[in-house]
Amino acid sequence: IASLKASANQFIEDDHYASKQIDEKINQVLNRWRDLKQALIDKRSKLGESQTLQQFSRDADEIENWISEKVQMAMEESYKDPANIQSKHQKHQAFEAELAANADRIQSVLSNANNLIGNRRCAGSEDAVQKRLESITEQWELLTQKTTEKSMKLKEANKQRTYVAAVKDLDFWLGEIESLLTSEDAGRDLTTVQNLIKKHQLIEDDIQAHADRIQDMNNQADSLIESGQFDSPNIQEKRQSINERYERIKNLAAHRQSRLNEANTLHQFFRDIADEESWINEKKLLVSSDDYGRNLTGIQNLKKKHKRFESELASHEPTIQAVQEAGEKLMHVSNLSVPEIEKRLVALNAAWDDLKHLAAKRGQKLNESLTFQTFIAKIEEEEAWISENQKLLSVQDYGDTMAAVQGLIKKNDAFEIDFGTHQDRCVELCEEGSKLIVDNNHHSDQIRQRCNQLQEKSKTLLNLASYRKQKLIDNSDYLQFMWKADVVESWIADKETRVRTEEQGRDLSTVQTLLRKQETFDAGLHAFEHEGIQNITT
């Protein structure tokens, strides 16, 4: 056509003689060519509309079949069976994802239908296309509605599954707690009671910690009931049961806490009273000792210790009174082991009174021992003096000269004066000992024995002193006699020398002188015989 048109245009430009005919002919050909092309376009357009209509019809059939199938799936009430509800919910989520993935395709089909109707390309089937459009729209809305409803139901069923699981866990937990709280075990002693209190505190903490879980369970139940859950009566029944049991275990916990506190108070009292009894028994061993000291220093040390013990006893009395008051209060406020408490209190009072009695008795005996040892110290002092003087009096030295004898006699006279003083002291000591015996001093036997010993020793010393005094007197007399005898012998020896002389006188005068001397000698001899010899022999 283009070549023909070019040739025609060339002829016309070259002023061909038949230019007019050529121009008319080429225009005629070109018009018929345009008409042919328009007819082809119209034909293709109608074929395209028919194809689009057929394509829509096919897509609409597929969509309707697909929607019908999905509607059946969406209307299944699988949520009523709680088994594998999580898996069902996951499958439904996949189902919703599939619907969302196909939403564009459905919208595309609906949009094509609207275009066909709007552009009047339905080949006269606009009403049929419109009905198909409305039908697909209704089915799609139904599918999305049922899908949403099923999703809600599955979510509710999943919530119910969670609720049922929570109820099941709480039911199991409540069973365990009820079992623990209904236990009759209140402990055998303070240690076990305190361990039970610690365990109970953990239980109470656990109960308090479960308050949030109980609240969550109630919130879940409210949500399920408000949403019109198909199993609402059962949900309400389980919730009420759980709440009632929870309140019950709180009451049981309070009751058991009170009981354990009572048991703890009771066993604490028994522990305290056992400690006091142990303390009293320990102190009894001390005050029951028979050791009252062996000497004055030992007794003084024991008295200091006993004084500290009495102070400790006085300071400990408020503790005993506190335990007694606690026991009496416990008997008034509790019914637990009242006879045992009363029995233990009576035993404690008796033990305490016994301890105080023993302490007073030991204090008295220590005082008696102190008095006894002071008395014995005096006795021993006297006995030492007696022993010392016994040794002096037992010496066989009675003097070998008159001067020595006179010295010993003076010492003996001084001893006799001292001995008289000590005899008086011995008498006083024996009287003091007799008074201690009358006062029932627990050393009475020893006091009596030591008094007797002192009296015997004093008597022995007296005898020994008398014997020594006699010996000294005898020795003095003997020495005086010997001195006098020596004087006489000396005088006789002197006179014998004169008597034995051979001088007879040479003349009368000498003889007369010798006679006068002889007469003087005779007179002296006669006088000496009456004075010197008689002093020796009398």
Show me where the domains of the chain are located. 1-157, 367-502, 503-537
Does the pLDDT value for residue 47 go beyond 50?
no
List all residues 6 or more positions away from 70 whose beta carbon is below 8 Å from its beta carbon. 95, 98, 99, 143, 147
Is 472 or 277 the better-scoring residue by pLDDT? 277
1-157 and 367-502 share one CATH topology? yes
Mean pLDDT value of segment 375-379: 84
Contact in structure between 348 and 277 (CB atoms under 8 Å)? yes
**Structure tokens belonging to residue 251:** 């009451």
DSSP state of 79: G
Per mean pLDDT, which range of 75-79, 155-159, 313-317 is the poorest? 75-79
Alpha-carbon torsion, ordered 76, 78, 79, 84, to 10 deg: -150
Nearest of 216, 78, 220, 222 to residue 153 by alpha carbon: 78
Does the pLDDT value for residue 382 go beyond 90?
no
Q: Which fold has domain 367-502?
A: Methane Monooxygenase Hydroxylase; Chain G, domain 1 (1.20.58)
Alpha-carbon gap, residue 166 to 259, rounded angstroms: 31
| Predicted confidence band of residue 404 (pLDDT cuts 50, 70, 90) | confident
Mean pLDDT value of segment 416-421: 86
Does the pLDDT value for residue 375 go beyond 90?
no
Contact in structure between 276 and 319 (CB atoms under 8 Å)? yes
Alpha-carbon gap, residue 110 to 308, rounded angstroms: 112
Within 10 angstroms of residue 305's Cβ, the number of other Cβ atoms is 12
204-254 pLDDT, tens per residue? Answer: 999 899 898 888 888 888 887 777 666 678 888 888 998 999 999 899 999
Mean pLDDT value of segment 515-537: 70
CATH code for the domain defined by 1-157: 1.20.58.60
What integer pLDDT is reported at residue 346 of this predicted model?
Answer: 92
Alpha-carbon gap, residue 69 to 290, rounded angstroms: 111
Q: Is 401 exposed, middle or buried (0-12, 13-18, 19+ CB in 10 A)?
A: exposed
Nearest of 62, 54, 51, 56 to residue 110 by alpha carbon: 56
What integer pLDDT is reported at residue 421 of this predicted model?
Answer: 87
Mean pLDDT value of segment 505-524: 76
| Predicted confidence band of residue 83 (pLDDT cuts 50, 70, 90) | low
Alpha-carbon gap, residue 23 to 423, rounded angstroms: 197
Does the pLDDT value for residue 354 go beyond 90?
yes
Does the pLDDT value for residue 499 go beyond 80?
no
Alpha-carbon gap, residue 74 to 83, rounded angstroms: 18
424-465 pLDDT, tens per residue? Answer: 888 888 888 888 888 888 778 888 888 898 888 888 888 888
Average pLDDT of the chain, as a whole number: 79
Mean pLDDT value of segment 76-80: 58
Alpha-carbon gap, residue 246 to 127, rounded angstroms: 67
Q: Determine what percent of the chain is predicted with pLDDT higher than 90.
A: 8
Q: Determine what percent of the chain is predicted with pLDDT higher than 70.
A: 82
SS (H, E, C) 244-284: HHHHHHHHHHHHHHHHHHHHHHHHHHHHHHHHHHHHHHHHH
